[in-house]
Chain A
Amino acid sequence: MHTVVLTKGVPDFREGMVSFDEDGHLERGNTPTTMNPNDEHALRAALQTRVRHGGQVDVMSMGPPGYKDVLREAMESVYADDLYLISDKQFAAADTWATAITLATAIQHLGEPSLVFAGFKTADGETGHTGPQTCWGLDMPIITHVIALDVDPEAKRVRAKRLVEGDVSEIETVEAPLPAFIVADPEFEPSYRTARHRLERKRLRAEARERAGSFEDQLTMWDHEELNLDPDYVGLDGSPTIVSSVDPIPKAPSEREATVVDPEDADAMAGLVDELAPYAGGD
């Protein structure tokens, strides 16, 4: 079984890592890049498939050369075999559409993988479009919001439990023929209930740790020429989306006044309700 996982680097939004300029714009240069947290779930789903059915897992990302470290991180967590970085100045400032075209082309360059995994939304763009659009480019069935996965390689089918509308309270089971595109939900729970699966996972982990030491040996970089992509259809030029402006998130006032209200005091409580009423509409 050959699977490909798509991952992306995002600014490290953790407290103390992220840096903003005076206007509240993200300073990418000063903010370290890390793997998009939601991709972790896609990696875990791919690993589970790998542990159960063997085969090869490749991880692919589109981005600047600095994303190599993201791929290394992915290699360690999914125990990936080969890493692909799609990197080219021509790809810069791509929107989800241009990104999807590029990724779909790159995936097709790998042959026909049985499963492609993507995470749900990126932490910086928050659109959740790249996965489905790439899938459209590949012309595969897609299953989104996947929380559990069962592959039958012989029958060439995949069965998945998914959250309907991303709602945790409603779960449905769907089936699709392989090859298929899987978007893992943050609720995805891998399951290793047999000792042999756990032993296999441990074996893969040990192997990947060794590989990760010299991960660049496993890394292939592709630019638009190698993928035979027309510069007009990728990057900024190939992006139909135009970002008109960015509104900074207003800073919270640094000083607040607190008034202590005794909950037993009916008058004071009534006053409080009046005071809060104007905000109740969500203003």
Chain B
Amino acid sequence: MTDAVDVDAADAEHFEAVVVGAGPGGAAAAAVLANNGVETLVLERGVEAGSKNVSGGLIYAERSAPYTIDDLFPDFREEASERPVTRNYMDNIAGDRVHTVDLKDVHEHDTLWCDSVLRRPMDSWLADRVHELTAETGGGVLTGVRVNGLLREDGEIVGVTCDELDPIRADVVVAADGVNSELARAAGLMDWEEPNEWFQGVKAVVDVEPDVIADRFDVAEDEGVARLFGGDLFDGVRGGGFLYTNRDSLSIGTVFHLDSLAAERAEPHELLDNLLTHPHLGQWLPDEYSEREYSAKLVPDSKKVAHGSPFRDRLLLVGDAAGQMQAQGPIIKGMNHAVTAGGLAAEAYIEARSRNAPYSAGDLYADKLRDEGVMDKLRPTRYELSRRVSESDAVSGALDGLVRSSVGRLGLRAAGGLTGRVFNSPFALGMLPDTHTSYVTVPTVLAEELGEPATAENDATPPTLEERIGELTYDTDVGNPHIELVDESYEASGTAVTACPVSARDFGGGCYREETVRTDGSEERVVSLDTQPCVECGTCAIVADTEWTHPRGGKGVEFDQG
């Protein structure tokens, strides 16, 4: 990886602001910078903005947030989103029994509106608006350009280096480059070490005619439904599933704690299939199951990684790059926080500049994250406090046993409504410990004790992994793999064979494969890597011993939906 290049930075091209990444965080930052007349260049590695991005995805506009996406881009809801989400439920599942909790309170808590989105159309729409705004300042949006490192002068960050362009200097660099931010890593602000700091999301976009959606979900054109799923259908892996209605498709996916996925040696695509083929989903799936796209991406857990001072020199991190992705129990809020952070980072630079101290933007930005209450949403103090007790192994084991015991069951039955309220309470969700009990045991026992059997039939046959990969579009950078396996021993990198969403045990077509090599009579288990089918989710950057980078601009996988 090209971490830092000490070139003759003085000769380099200069822009006042460089924003890396055209997701919601980058778009928001660039819009606020441009609206204030800052010459802004946005660099995006995808062939088009959104072509690399995946989310569930529900975008929330929070009442308390200083920025919402439609503040910055007024026609956003009419032109770039799918449906307003007007109802939200949690389905607790045990076998074929289901107990449903209405999440109305938590869904509507602090919510101005919430829309389902698909990232390719959303981000490319945003990027067009951003280009119009930034072009006015002498900058603009460039796609197909991958930033590969930081430009330094006497050790200090003064700009960026790219695969496709000569080095660029800037007075401020906003790294909105997402979950596997190479810039955050190069600046030493984030590492990619601990699986328990991440989730892995996997998703299928399923074709459904709008009138079938209207019929199956009982919604009008301007209404939509979100359903979240927990319980025993995910082979004990900590996490859950989701289903969101789009205009003419459904987004159905799963989000699991990466440490749990790794420990269970679970196959992400199989867990997704467990959801897709569960009888409970039969009532919503179309008669002919047809999948438009399979995708995956890591998700940071802000409770553990949101950086309190996400800056170094002129480099400011926003969104996933700074770990600002809030999992409020089953409700996932990343895009809205990326927008807020982007806005605040831009604001901080503009203020710093007006004080004639442009390089103090980082400090100001960190202050704003705190003062606007963003940090407290991302890392709630009550979680920090309760976690110390509830996530210790002894306590969580005891708790899990208690819930499963007849006493616990009795309690849950009696407290049926009350337990529902835990999932439906933003305050309680902020405390919910990240343990098996919260994610698996409680939903399972709830469904066992209070659930009704699912009555629908589900004969959906999701595509095989091979078919899913075959449907994706790739522009492989032949001979220039973006991931290198550093340690090919099974101990170091074997987890990737299962955790990689496009690899699987006994599947020859994926990225990671397990092999046995015989040397001098002894046998060794090793793994090999072929990056051709990689969907750039980032998982193996954490669970395997790799040199992990994004592919060069425009190369690699291209999502149509996201």
Contact = CB atoms under 8 A, between A and B. Distances in A.
Report which residue of A194, A198, A202 has the largest number of chain B beta carbons within 10 angstroms of its beta carbon: A198
Contact of A195 (B13, B131, B135): B13
Nearest to B141: A202
A60 B41 CA distance: 36
B46 interface: no
B13 A203 contact: no
Interface centre among A194, A196, A202 (most CB of B within 10 A): A196
Secondary structure class of chain A's binding surface, majority of residues = helix
Interface in A44-83: none
Nearest to A201: B142
Given A195-B41, A196-B13, A202 B142 contact: yes
Which of the four size classes fits the interface of chain A? Answer: under 10
Most chain A CB within 10 A, of B140, B166, B168, is at B140
Interface string A193-220: 1111011001100000000000000000
A194 B139 contact: no
Interface string B478-496: 0000000000000000000
B185 to A, nearest CB: 23
B383 interface: no
Given A199-B140, A199-B142, A202-B142, A193 B135 contact: no
B220 interface: no
A202 B139 CA distance: 11
B13 A198 contact: no
Contacts of A198: 142, 145, 165
A193 B139 contact: no
Contacts of B43: 195
Contact of A202 (B140, B164, B166, B168): B140
B142 A203 contact: no
Contacts of A203: 135, 140
Interface in A72-123: none
B15 interface: yes
Nearest to B134: A199
Interface string A177-207: 0000000000000000111101100110000
Interface string B149-184: 000000000000000111010000000000000000
Nearest to A200: B140
Given A199-B142, A202-B142, A194 B135 contact: no
A150 to B, nearest CB: 15
A194 B140 contact: no
A206 B438 CA distance: 53
A203 B43 CA distance: 16
A194 B142 contact: no
A202 B132 CA distance: 12
Contacts of B13: 194-196
Contacts of A195: 13, 15, 41, 43, 142, 145, 165, 168
Nearest to B43: A195
A52 to B, nearest CB: 13
Contacts of B135: 199, 203
A193 B164 CA distance: 6
Interface in B520-552: none
Nearest to B12: A194
A76 B297 CA distance: 37
Contacts of A193: 164-166
Which of A193, A195, A202, A203 is the most central at the interface, judged by chain B CB atoms within 10 Å of its CB? A195
A131 B166 CA distance: 35
Contacts of B168: 195
A158 B144 CA distance: 30
A199 B165 contact: no
Interface in B34-72: 41, 43
B115 to A, nearest CB: 29
Contacts of B139: 199
A202 to B, nearest CB: 6
A202 B140 CA distance: 9
B207 to A, nearest CB: 31
B9 to A, nearest CB: 15
Contacts of A196: 13
A198 B15 CA distance: 14
B312 to A, nearest CB: 23
Contacts of A202: 131, 140, 142
Nearest to B131: A202
A196 B165 CA distance: 10
Nearest to B139: A199
Contacts of B165: 193-195, 198
A123 to B, nearest CB: 27
Nearest to B168: A195
A193 B165 CA distance: 4
Nearest to A203: B135
Contacts of B15: 195
A166 to B, nearest CB: 27
A203 B41 CA distance: 14
Interface in B168-221: 168
B353 to A, nearest CB: 21
B20 to A, nearest CB: 12
Interface string B114-143: 000000000000000001000100011010
A195 B165 CA distance: 7
A203 B135 CA distance: 9
Interface in B386-443: none
Interface string B1-31: 0000000000001010000000000000000
A199 B165 CA distance: 12
A45 B458 CA distance: 59
Contacts of A199: 41, 135, 139-140, 142
A196 B41 CA distance: 9
A88 B140 CA distance: 45
Nearest to B164: A193
Nearest to B13: A194
Contacts of B164: 193
Interface string A207-238: 00000000000000000000000000000000
Nearest to B162: A195
A202 B144 CA distance: 12
Nearest to A196: B13
B143 to A, nearest CB: 9
A254 to B, nearest CB: 34
A196 B168 CA distance: 10
A195 B17 CA distance: 13
A203 B139 CA distance: 11
Interface of B: 13, 15, 41, 43, 131, 135, 139-140, 142, 145, 164-166, 168
10 contacts: A194-B13, A195-B43, A195-B142, A195-B145, A196-B13, A199-B41, A199-B139, A199-B142, A202-B131, A202-B142
Identify the 6 closest CB pairs spanning chains A and B, nearest first. Answer: A199-B140, A193-B166, A194-B13, A198-B142, A195-B41, A193-B165
Given A194-B13, A194-B166, 17 more contacts: A193-B165, A193-B166, A194-B165, A195-B13, A195-B41, A195-B43, A195-B145, A195-B165, A195-B168, A196-B13, A199-B41, A199-B135, A199-B140, A202-B131, A202-B142, A203-B135, A203-B140
Interface of A: 193-196, 198-199, 202-203
